Structure 1
């Protein structure tokens, strides 16, 4: 079955998972735990994961699943997978905890090592960002569906960077080398910042710090179908299902491709062992 034929059913599943999170969020009734890397995880993450795993396995029993919140499959067991789901049941757990509302459900379908469908559901806004490779990227709200496109910027206009609410700004600005004016837009989850680039509300998102392939899978196809690119911190392409670990390098989400990004951003090697 082509990804385009699966799109609407998977959007329904993403929304169900988002509603499971929202039910917990609204009642402020959850438990919080720490993972091995000291990052937070909550019962809302697990509730969303349960919905996604159950629904996807029922509809598509022949497609394996990789999720941030389940036991990870060894590279040897998955290296020959032609197709699999890549899930982040709740991107923005810290935003859930701080009650900013900037958290999202992310579902990607990866085929032959590359994301071909991405769905991001923002529960607080009851809105979707989604794309299928070769068929454009879209945003869906209660007002309808609009096609996404990165913003076109004039040379004298400031570059707008989507940035974290909690990360120190110097973590980002140390990698900027241009005299061009900049603006900073504070937002929550990794996926939503990427989507802001895709819809032209920001021009760039630099991610410095640990992430997994599930953080970029769904945004990757959305951003690229909107005319942007996601590259690692040395301006190389990302990869999927190629390593034993799912850890990403630092990466950048770039909007309009005519902008001289190499004149604005200093490449750097990720210091983590990935």
Structure 2
């Protein structure tokens, strides 16, 4: 299954780069979030791969969900897809944008692929194994290397969102004595934790499940965790929420090994 997800992400990433190279026209959805032709082209490619290989597994994809097209996932395994995470980075000509595909089972991300096409880097995870590959020529996936979270030392390095940072996040870091942080876009923050290049990523601003699932899968497989502010693992497949829309995440903290 992971091979299919990797091929889908790489092909979608190639379509994203094609739009990136010529410049994207930005439109805005009802929730005021940006969308481009790259988002839509990449999602079509991913859906074709997933529906062709796994017709019995429903897919919740960002652009389809924004149009009200959400399959029945009650009690079932399902895919979460963000065809272009970090659209603001993409539009701003920053390289921190990714293609994200994850499998959710019993509320947890158990497989995931995060592809950064402008960087030529592919992260993938299944169960307790996370890996990183270099993609050359936008199509050829190199031999993967296993990655893992580092043990937290005296100097804690935090990550914060480049485009969606918040005063609450900065206050959280200060409260926990963390003064050293780097701003990174998209789901790459989870992957940098998984690779052992940072220690903690607090997110005290809005995210949706498709923003986080694939990166969270990589992080969990690498020995890290993502927990809500009450200390429980971040759960996926949230519907009919009292205080928010379907698939919206609460605030959370992702971290490597303690």
Please indicate, yes or no, whether the TM-score normalized by the shorter chain is above 0.5.
yes
Q: Does 2:153 align with 1:164? A: no
- Give the aligned partner of residue 140 of structure 1: 133
Contact 1:194 1:205 in 2 (8 A): yes
The alpha-carbon distance between structure 1 residues 179 and 54, as it changes in their structure 2 partners (threshold 3 A), is closer
- Structure 2 counterparts to residues 26-37 of structure 1, below 5 A: 26-28=21-23, 30-37=24-31
Contact 2:238 2:248 in 1 (8 A): no
Structure 1 position 52, deviation (Å):
0.7
Contact 1:79 1:242 in 2 (8 A): no
- Counterpart CA distance in 2 for 1:58 and 1:167 is 35
The alpha-carbon distance between structure 1 residues 70 and 192, as it changes in their structure 2 partners (threshold 3 A), is same
- Counterpart CA distance in 1 for 2:100 and 2:165 is 26
Contact 2:237 2:247 in 1 (8 A): yes
Q: Does 2:17 align with 1:22? A: yes
- Give the aligned partner of residue 188 of structure 1: 185
Equivalent residue pairs, number: 245
The alpha-carbon distance between structure 1 residues 147 and 32, as it changes in their structure 2 partners (threshold 3 A), is same
CA RMSD, 1 decimal: 1.9
- Give the aligned partner of residue 203 of structure 2: 207
- Counterpart CA distance in 1 for 2:209 and 2:191 is 16
Contact 2:130 2:222 in 1 (8 A): yes
- Give the aligned partner of residue 248 of structure 1: 249
- Counterpart CA distance in 2 for 1:17 and 1:196 is 22
- Give the aligned partner of residue 6 of structure 2: 11
The alpha-carbon distance between structure 1 residues 10 and 165, as it changes in their structure 2 partners (threshold 3 A), is closer
TM-score (ref. length: structure 2): 0.88
Larger Rg: 1
Contact 2:162 2:183 in 1 (8 A): yes
Q: Does 2:35 align with 1:41? A: yes
Which ranges in structure 1 are unaligned for 5 or more consecutive residues?
1-5, 258-274
- Give the aligned partner of residue 243 of structure 2: none
The alpha-carbon distance between structure 1 residues 247 and 202, as it changes in their structure 2 partners (threshold 3 A), is same
Offset from partner CA, 1:195-238 (integer Å, 9 cap, x none)? 11111111111112111111221122211111110011232221
The SS at the match of 1:174 is helix
Q: Does 2:231 align with 1:235? A: yes
TM-score (ref. length: structure 1): 0.83
The SS at the match of 2:202 is strand
Structure 1 position 102, deviation (Å):
0.6
